[in-house]
Structure 1
């Protein structure tokens, strides 16, 4: 392409209105309006911003945490559904590309929740619904895993756009697949993680991973992380003062924007709520590729090869496995034509 997009990106660092879906969506809509009024064309939100992260998985045993799991399931959103419609309307009204993390409720299995990243175009269309491939550690108590059909680079208004959730940004093969699809703008969504081991600096871990992907891919990485509130601490810590103290420790959240040299384009925001803005010029991705283009001249595809299975994984596929008809039969309509809809099946 001759013209490379130049635009303002916004990384939102904020807490949801915890376990209140309608209020959190309203907060997201307001933040979209605020970021757009400051010139942002791309607005990135944290992991599972709607309506929050299951911190109790890290501080309670599974039996203690199970009632909270049910509450989160009841608060999760349907795709398609009215809460997503409100976000789509906000993106369309502001003509912005919005990437936001949600708890997505499965349509085929009562109690199944996905950690999903939804990308919405400036016309309000849903471009992709990416379900986190592997929930990290204690997260397996809450979320099911996605499939490779949603690990995609989108031809978006801000350029070739990809997104991964939190620990997926440590998955070298997932990141490489996005790079090999031509990714130039990457959105990485995170949650504040003060419940990790005492020697784990979440802010540093986010910065390291974000800088690495930006430097390796010679691209821009927009990083959005949530923050901790007293309500989250009260729920997860209960009457345990040590857990409450741990959940208030600093350097647990970082949001920012990293350039193709791996350096921050703007000073990252740590722990506090706010929006980080930066100007992105995709032409800056060209010259660094001359040195290290790991999806081009700086690789040996006769030596290394990645296979990415993009088959949607569904609980049941209806159709005949009988003899092939003499005349081709057109497939039935897709039920639920939503990007990343692993629940969809073809009608008979």
Structure 2
């Protein structure tokens, strides 16, 4: 089976949820018209990754200005029980494309924010949500951490989907949780634009014998609205040069890495390559050594099987 995929390397309309949703719609329609069946957006694309922000927090104190900024971030984040999700489901259905979108998610029950990845099917709507199990560094000021229930995977008509966000991909046991479910298309939205990140994506592809889709934003300081620029005065103009990349199960780069510009990576994935790659290495099969290692993930759900598209 061959799947045409697209990674969006672009910028949101920062901290403006509604305008960013409109941009998601425009980009989705553009690449769906080119025959793409899976479109991926970067980490916290809605409403934007708050690179360079401190939210007025230091050890032992927080500022009123930082609290107000957090409140604005919260207001522009996604509630999966809201009409925002219905809009994305409608878009997925109308364009007949799978969407995987990095968002900051707000939860009405506990008032917290999570760095999340939405999986949306054209036939089944929202399949589920992966929430970051460990925000990196000072991301922990604004994002909570999820538990094993967030390590979701999905058996869809275009293959078995799963993945992790940004530096979760450096956690060997989190990666193994994905491999154990037999993920074929491993999706890795990120904010890491270092050239070294490409090597991480290649290693995961080789290790998991899966296609790896690493998707990042392209973002410059001048893209911030004027009212935020004083908060990032010490940052370089080219704050996030991108680096999106698509890698085969043998660790070969299929498309990218794309640096220094907005754009998209489009590539066709031949899922038969996964089986071919397992002749000499299979991390959950003949290379597993289950007689030595015992692996368990607390609360990880079973892979969700998508209901097939009704035949017309």
Give TM-score scaled by structure 1 length.
Answer: 0.80
Q: Which residue of 2 aligns with 1:306?
A: 295
Distance verdict in 2 for CA 1:239–1:71, change over 3 Å: closer
Whichever structure has more strand as a proportion of its residues is: 2
Distance verdict in 2 for CA 1:216–1:148, change over 3 Å: same
2:261 to 272, 278, 283: 272
Q: Which residue of 2 aligns with 1:322?
A: none
2:116–2:132 CA contact under 8 A, matched in 1: yes
Q: Which residue of 2 aligns with 1:35?
A: 31
RMSD value, Cα: 2.1
Q: Which residue of 2 aligns with 1:98?
A: 99
Q: Which residue of 2 aligns with 1:248?
A: 238
Q: Which residue of 1 aligns with 2:249?
A: 260
Deviations 1:64-108 (A, max 9, x none): 533211110111121121111111111101111110011111121
1:48–1:115 CA contact under 8 A, matched in 2: yes
Measure how far apart 1:311 and its partner are: 6.4
Unmatched 5+ stretches in structure 2: 305-312
Deviations 1:8-58 (A, max 9, x none): 010010111001100000100111111111111011100111111122445
1:122–1:157 CA contact under 8 A, matched in 2: no
Q: Which residue of 1 aligns with 2:45?
A: 49
Kindly name which structure, 1 or 2, has the bigger radius of gyration based on alpha carbons: 1
Inter-partner Cα distance in structure 2 for 1:252 and 1:289: 34
1:114–1:145 CA contact under 8 A, matched in 2: yes
Superposition pairs of residues 3-152 of structure 1, within 5 angstroms: 5-58=1-54, 61=57, 62-63=62-63, 64-110=65-111, 112-152=112-152
Unmatched 5+ stretches in structure 1: 194-201, 313-338, 340-348
Determine helix, strand or coil for the equivalent of 1:300.
Answer: coil
Determine helix, strand or coil for the equivalent of 1:224.
Answer: strand
Determine helix, strand or coil for the equivalent of 1:77.
Answer: coil
Inter-partner Cα distance in structure 2 for 1:72 and 1:300: 46
Give TM-score scaled by structure 2 length.
Answer: 0.89
Inter-partner Cα distance in structure 2 for 1:130 and 1:73: 18
Determine helix, strand or coil for the equivalent of 1:114.
Answer: strand
Inter-partner Cα distance in structure 1 for 2:210 and 2:277: 9
Distance verdict in 2 for CA 1:240–1:90, change over 3 Å: closer
Aligned residues: 296
Q: Which residue of 1 aligns with 2:230?
A: 238
2:78–2:103 CA contact under 8 A, matched in 1: yes
1:216 to 207, 219, 236: 207
Measure how far apart 1:59 and its partner are: 8.3
